[in-house]
Structure 1
Amino acid sequence: MKFPSLLAPVAAAALLATGATQAQQTYKIAYIDPLSGPFANVGELMLTHTQYAIEDINARGGVLGGTKMQLLQFDSKLSAQESQSALQAAIDQGARAIVTGGSGSSVVSALVQAVNRWNQRNPGRELLVLNHSSIDPELTGKACSFWHFQTDANTAMKMKAIANTIKKTPEVKKIYLLNQDYAHGKQWASYGRQLVGLARPDIQFVGETLHPIGKVKDFAPYLANIKQSGADSVITGNWGQDMTLLLKAAGDAGYDLHYYNHSAGSVPGTVLAMSQARLGQLTWVAEWHPGQADSPKVDALAKSYKAKTGKDFLAPRIEMTPRLLAAAINKAGSTDTTQVARALEDLGFDSVVGPVRMRAEDHQLLLPQVVNTIAPVDGKAVKVGWEGTNYGFRTDAIYSGNELAQGTDCKMVRPQP
């Protein structure tokens, strides 16, 4: 005898229970960064670093003793509108955290604002934003958010490291400011003028230009202005295609300039462009650089990463970002977003670049910064070539996160316990 009217509800309930259990075993993270357009190579680099970390976390058992992390991928197209569309799609697919940073500070700021609104209107369904590369100090300053965490040193911290280096470089006498026309480009120019001017009051700033981001195909006219100004050095926040095209144009024109940048050397193609230009120097600052001495943990990670992905490892902070999230989930003992955010605050983490700490007052990660210059291999300061060239990286100075830490205008508004 069959009892379909009784068995069907029981079976359906069992299936629903099984589905709920499976859903609880996955913690979804949405990657929102450029995967098409002029900065697609940057987005792919960041994606691969993020994927590697998540796959390694899962291989080690996931979080909370068995919950696996799942990465959802979305193309920001370097657009605030596209990023917010991606955010809604991520929410619809059950994301609990957003990993972003390569779309630029203006786009990330818009994303954070959208998450703030969503979290306020949807208690119990909140999201986190983990930002690995958009370094506008406003994001951990006046525009700080309880739901946003910055895992790279911000613009002010990086420029302080560069200013300290320029202070010891007397041959730098005249500086031109050439930057992309968006929030971060303007910030890089502003902090350059302020902090380098403070470190070296004798330096002359002989010109300043902002150009459209990702749209300039030939930088020759900009370089002609730089040459006419008499500058020997350029403070530029350019990255990706805008950096490599600038270097190419300078090489073609025979201009021997010293560039000061925040992260250019960690982007594919920059070392190759320098080697082809054969003129100038590019000094940049990051938590690590390839070939850096006395960094066995990063060396081991880079070797493993290369073996698995077939690509060069370039950015410990990006690979570290999902690991910080995983550590916070385990510390909280929960995937509840508010509890995870509280666990991230003041979280100390033994990273491959040394101990780091997420400052609670503004959600700024304090991590070391290495000032280094792309230079020809000499067997001493530069022992290893990069990107198939005879150019690599020379360490100029290393600063701890605490040495570069600065005050903040953040007035953090936290949810009620």
Structure 2
Amino acid sequence: MLASSGAALAQAKPGAKPLAGETIKLVRIDALSGLMAPVGGNQLKSYQFFAEKFSVNNPAGVKFEVSGIDNKLSPTETLNALKAALDQGVRYVIQGNGSSVAAALIDAVNKHNERNPGKEVVYLNDAAVDPDFTNSKCSYWHFRFDADTSMKMEALTTFMKDQPDIKKVYLLNQNYSHGHQVAKFAKENLSRKRPDVQIVGEDLHPLAQVRDFAPYIAKIKASGADTVITGNWGSDLSLLVKAANEGGYNGKFYTYYTGVTGTPTALGTGGAGRVYQVSYNHYNMGGQMDAWMKEFNQKFNDDFYTGSVIHIFTVLSQAMANAKSSDPVKVAAAMEGLKVKSFNGEVEVRKADHQLQQPLYITVWQKADAKFPYSPEKTGMTLVPVKEFPSYVSSTPTSCQMKRPGGASS
């Protein structure tokens, strides 16, 4: 899976390894304790697994080394973690879980780079999907490798508009920027594509604090909702679907993060045919991805699901090869507009806002079979693809006014 570049910069010559032997240190700042620790722990293992893979073969010839710092899902702890990473000489930081954390990190990286020319840092975002980060709060130093909330909701509601059984929708989300955006874009998209659909209830709950969702399920049942839309992740989705199973709620769930640690086990067979996910990857991608997932599972007794890890190593190594440098300023410039071949086809780092453009998939929770065999958390179930949306369908416009080094803006 060698990357192929569509950037204006000169393509690295085949076989040329301009930075052969150089070690690139990356730090992932994310939750490694608390209710969301299983997710953060899984993702750190994912980075270390693929750092090893890409260190063997990448177009720049660099070696990758990844360590993690626990931010306890706190913006304040994140700023402390960033300082610790900078003190270690790290120039590439990674974060994903929690858009409130991501907002603090974008601001801190911007300030650091402004005050410390020659010591710039690039922030690689693998999962924080608040659309503001590539619109009003866009930054030259921030690159997002997940699809943002507006992109996912565009794809999800394009699928939902053709489902005649959807008549009454309940919105249940976490009470922070990501949850607010999911609700906002769900209402906007449904009113445009399916004005007949009623929003019969809406709730926001504290992030990573609720241990019993039974009261929420009771409200959903009382509302008469046949469908729930939720951007919940980690324990907040696992415990929600567990409560739905136990409370006898038989409606459908349209989600962003069904495949993430803990949720497959909570679902078991109870959500068969009723739980949908929109994502840029799933458990049955085929090809090299299948081989990697099998190896990851054997090594860690865990499931790989954060495909943006692969995007990051693919884009970063190709950009370094093109720039013939590991300097973040030059690498950031080389990442702009870069097109590479990744596990879900050709993807592009959109120059205007640094939002990766990529295909999205709608999958449904069903029994694993010979065609779709991968079973997360040994549930006997899997996520089966039912619809693929090419990049141009899920792409959404940007209002980003990018301020680039030297004062130029797009």
**Both proteins in one fold, TM over 0.5:** yes
Aligned with residue 75 of structure 1, among 62, 66, 70: 70
Shift, 1:392, TM fit: 1.4
AA at the equivalent of 2:128: S
Contact 1:255 1:280 in 2 (8 A): no
AA at the equivalent of 1:116: N
| Secondary structure class of the residue paired with 1:264 | coil
| Cα distance in 2 between the residues matched to 1:349 and 1:280 | 34
Residue equivalent to 2:287: 296
| Cα distance in 1 between the residues matched to 2:271 and 2:27 | 40
How big is the alpha-carbon RMSD for the aligned residues of Structure 1 and Structure 2?
1.8
Contact 1:172 1:233 in 2 (8 A): yes
AA at the equivalent of 1:44: G
- 41-50 or 388-397, larger mean C-alpha shift: 388-397
Residue equivalent to 1:357: 348
Aligned with residue 39 of structure 1, among 36, 39, 63: 36
Deviations 1:115-134 (A, max 9, x none): 00000000000000000100
1:243 aligns with 2:237: yes
- Structure having the larger proportion of residues in helix: 1
Aligned with residue 391 of structure 2, among 366, 380, 401: 401
| Cα distance in 2 between the residues matched to 1:214 and 1:36 | 11
Residue equivalent to 2:382: 392
Aligned with residue 53 of structure 1, among 50, 71, 74: 50
AA at the equivalent of 2:275: L
Residue equivalent to 1:271: 264
Deviations 1:181-220 (A, max 9, x none): 0000000011111112211111000111100011111111
| Secondary structure class of the residue paired with 2:396 | coil
| Cα distance in 1 between the residues matched to 2:175 and 2:24 | 37
Contact 2:36 2:235 in 1 (8 A): yes
Name the larger-Rg structure.
Answer: 1
Change (3 A) 1:55 1:162: same
| Cα distance in 1 between the residues matched to 2:158 and 2:93 | 34
Contact 2:293 2:303 in 1 (8 A): yes
| Secondary structure class of the residue paired with 1:387 | helix
Deviations 1:38-75 (A, max 9, x none): 00111012111111221122223x6744x432223201
Unaligned ranges ≥5, structure 1: 1-23
| Cα distance in 1 between the residues matched to 2:373 and 2:64 | 38
Residues 151-190 of structure 1 mapped to structure 2, 5 A cutoff:
151-190=145-184
Change (3 A) 1:147 1:291: same
AA at the equivalent of 1:250: A
Change (3 A) 1:322 1:383: closer
| Cα distance in 2 between the residues matched to 1:346 and 1:63 | 18
Residues 130-279 of structure 1 mapped to structure 2, 5 A cutoff:
130-265=124-259, 267-275=260-268, 277=270
AA at the equivalent of 2:333: R
Unaligned ranges ≥5, structure 2: 1-20
- Identity level (%): 40
1:111 aligns with 2:102: no
AA at the equivalent of 1:133: A
AA at the equivalent of 1:399: F
Shift, 1:277, TM fit: 3.8
Residue equivalent to 2:121: 127
Contact 2:310 2:342 in 1 (8 A): no
Shift, 1:379, TM fit: 5.9
Residue equivalent to 2:79: 84
| Cα distance in 1 between the residues matched to 2:48 and 2:166 | 41
Contact 2:24 2:65 in 1 (8 A): yes
| Secondary structure class of the residue paired with 2:268 | helix
Aligned with residue 311 of structure 2, among 320, 326, 329: 320
AA at the equivalent of 1:71: V
| Cα distance in 1 between the residues matched to 2:77 and 2:374 | 40
AA at the equivalent of 2:325: S
Residue equivalent to 1:19: none
**How many pairs are equivalent?**
387
| Cα distance in 2 between the residues matched to 1:221 and 1:306 | 35
Deviations 1:361-387 (A, max 9, x none): 00000111110111234667x555432
| Cα distance in 2 between the residues matched to 1:328 and 1:384 | 33
Relative contact order: is structure 1 or structure 2 higher (C-alpha 8 Å, sep ≥ 6)? 2
Shift, 1:310, TM fit: 4.2
- Structure 2 length as normaliser, TM-score? 0.90
Shift, 1:297, TM fit: 2.7
| Cα distance in 2 between the residues matched to 1:95 and 1:107 | 19
